Amino acid sequence: MQLNAQTTTTADLELIDATGRVVRGQRSYVVAQGTTSMEMDVQDLAPGAYTLRLIGGDALVSVPFQIVR
């Protein structure tokens, strides 16, 4: 996933499954100014719909995606 931030900031990351349960999380993830790429290991998660949520400062970004095998 690629993020584009106007300033360097920290954000909490949550990976949420289709039932609303947080299945992964990371606090205080540093998002550098400009374009930042991030990876998250999802090999042990079941196929299906998920949402990656980034919470930082006044911003909340939700990105839906599918795990397909």
CA 51 to CA 65: how far, in whole Å? 6
The answer to whether the pTM exceeds 0.85 is no
* For range 22-47, the mean pLDDT: 89
Burial class (CB in 10 A: 0-12, 13-18, 19+), 54: buried
Give bridge partners of residue 54 from the DSSP assignment.
13, 61
DSSP 47: S
User: pLDDT per residue over 6-34, tens digit each?
Assistant: 888 889 999 999 999 999 999 998 888 89
Cβ-contact 1, 37 below 8 angstroms: yes
CB-based contact 51:62 (threshold 8 Å): yes
Q: Which domains does the chain have, with CATH numbers?
A: 2-39+47-67 (2.60.40)
